[in-house]
Amino acid sequence: MKTARMLAAVGLFALTLAGASAARAADVTIGAQVPTSGSEAPYGIDMLNAIRMAAGEINAKGGVLGQKISIIPGDSACDPQAAVNAASKLVSQSVTGVVGGYCSGATLPTLKVYGDAHVPFVITASNSTELIGANPGNAFMINSTGFDQVKTAVNLFKARGIKTLAIVNEGDAYSANLAQLTRTAWEKLGKKVADYEVVNKGQQDFSPVVTRIRERNPDAVFWTAYYADGALLIKQLRQGGYAGMIALGDGNNSPKLFELAGAAAEGVFCFSNPTANFLPAARTFIENYQKQFHQPPGPYSALSYDGMMLMAHAITVAGSTDRMKIIAALKKTDNFPGIAGPISFTPQNTLARSNFVVLLGKGGQWTLYTGPGAPGAK
């Protein structure tokens, strides 16, 4: 009898495990490719939080196609090889789609991994123009590209009377792409690039760069890489006596820039996607995010939330978890109502409008700049 009862118990346990596995297998699994380690981890964790929050809201309303969404994180670490490893693992886990992508240099090599497996990929932050040509057709960018950022930057520089410009980048896919596009656009206007610098990621001492910039005395300095190193450059430029305009690429829209740069960040400009605190449609999102994660949402939270919502919408429109049908549904997206603004795509799968704004460092935080040269300013 004991043996029979033990066998019955083992059988029941096995059935319970099988049932749990079946329930998990029935979930719609979505990969979240974001940096959760390394210097850009604060951005990535914020993006992951927003993706999970969107999935939770969808699940609370019944999920998609009667199934719950399950999020599987993939740490890109803002490193190309780490990103490829994470992407390969997500593909091996048979995810239905992927949402995320922060550092363009890490996102770029994953396009082939996801493309070969026909995995739909909604890219929420990465915006290097190099991604456009490398896209095999399954990736969709909901952040405006470097072309839009350069147009925003050049308009601001012109409006503020900038004649000569120094450009500093780190040689990666994102910052080098933005730097070169800016240089080309600026010189096409007959303007002068007084200095063009390539520095190392993680560099601590910018004194040689500061010296060259001080000698050439450009009207403005444009840093096109990320905030962790950018904060040091800003600080050392001001300490070295540079008094001209300083502008930053969108990888610098973080409150941490002010923690690292201190008073040197006052009056600095930043080109940015529309962050949640400047979006009227994001008020409820901000409240829910703060309630759930006990901190304000970061720079790419709204776009990451929209990316997950868009992926769920495409699955619903496709009426299937078949990847090719979801890709086809994404391609037909027409004014999807994201909290960061409506989403439609060009034939190249890029956002069909510019979403860039200009921010100004004021009082130890980013504020929305609406003066001369700002998008929409008269």
Read off the pLDDT of residues 286-339 as tens digits, 9 standing for 90 and up. Answer: 999 999 999 999 999 999 999 999 999 999 999 999 999 999 999 999 999 999
Q: Across the strands, what pairs with 70?
A: 29
Q: Is residue 131 part of a domain?
A: yes
Residue that the structure tokens 């993939």 belong to: 74
Residue 26 has what pLDDT? 61
Rounded CA-CA distance 58/301 in Å is: 17
338 plus 248 within the same structural domain: no
Rounded CA-CA distance 151/181 in Å is: 10
Q: Is residue 239 part of a domain?
A: yes
102 plus 157 within the same structural domain: no
Residue 268 is part of a domain; what is its CATH number? Answer: 3.40.50.2300
Q: Is residue 26 part of a domain?
A: yes
Q: Is residue 1 part of a domain?
A: no
245 plus 264 within the same structural domain: yes
55 plus 75 within the same structural domain: yes
List the structure tokens of 139: 């990736």
Q: Is residue 3 part of a domain?
A: no
Provide the 3-class DSSP secondary structure of residue 195: strand
Question: Which helix (H) or strand (E) element contains residue 169?
Answer: strand 164-169
Query: Nearest-CA neighbor of 199 among 174, 229, 228, 219?
Result: 229
pLDDT digits (tens, 9 = 90+) for 189-202: 999 999 999 999 99
Give the range among 14-23, 219-228, 349-358 with minimum mean pLDDT.
14-23
How many domains are contained in the chain? Answer: 2
Q: Is the pTM of this model over 0.85?
A: yes
Structural domain that includes position 121: 10-144+278-343
Query: Nearest-CA neighbor of 123 among 100, 147, 103, 146?
Result: 100
191 plus 134 within the same structural domain: no
Q: Is residue 378 part of a domain?
A: no
363 plus 220 within the same structural domain: yes
62 plus 162 within the same structural domain: no
Q: Is residue 286 part of a domain?
A: yes
105 plus 172 within the same structural domain: no
Kindly state the greatest CA–CA separation across the chain: 93
177 plus 296 within the same structural domain: no
SS3 content of the chain, % helix, strand, coil (to 5): 50, 20, 35
47 plus 107 within the same structural domain: yes
Residue 162 has what pLDDT? 98
